[in-house]
């Protein structure tokens, strides 16, 4: 789990999570506890869900990059 120590420093931040099954999920990393990574994901309108992913199903965790265009685009 080479991603584990990196992920510990990303708690509270928006992250992308690569799963071993080839899927990816995004959200705010809430915690890494009890053998699970806890992620708050956006669902629809003002609805969010807190989901848990077993650590043995995770391939990597990455922070979101900064935006390359400063300021609003409208």
- In the chain, how many domains are there? 1
CATH number at residue 45: 2.30.30.100
* 72 assigned to some structural domain: no
What digits encode the pLDDT tens for the residues 16-41?
Answer: 999 999 999 999 999 999 999 999 99
Q: Is residue 70 part of a domain?
A: no
- Sorting pLDDT into bands at 50, 70 and 90, what band is 70? confident
User: Would residue 74 count as lying in a domain?
Assistant: no
Q: How far is CA 36 from the centre of its chain?
A: 12
The CA distances from residue 24 to 59, 68, 69, 71, in Å, are 10, 23, 25, 28
Whole-model pTM above 0.75? yes
Confidence check: pLDDT of 63 > 70: yes
């Amino acid at each position: 789990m080479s991603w584990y120590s990196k992920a510990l420093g990303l708690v509270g931040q928006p992250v992308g999570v690569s799963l071993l099954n080839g899927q990816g999920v995004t959200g705010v990393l809430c915690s890494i506890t009890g053998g699970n990574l806890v992620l708050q994901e956006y669902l629809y309108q003002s609805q969010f869900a807190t989901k848990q992913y077993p650590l043995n199903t995770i391939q990597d965790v990455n922070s979101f990059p900064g935006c390359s265009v400063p300021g609003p685009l409208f």
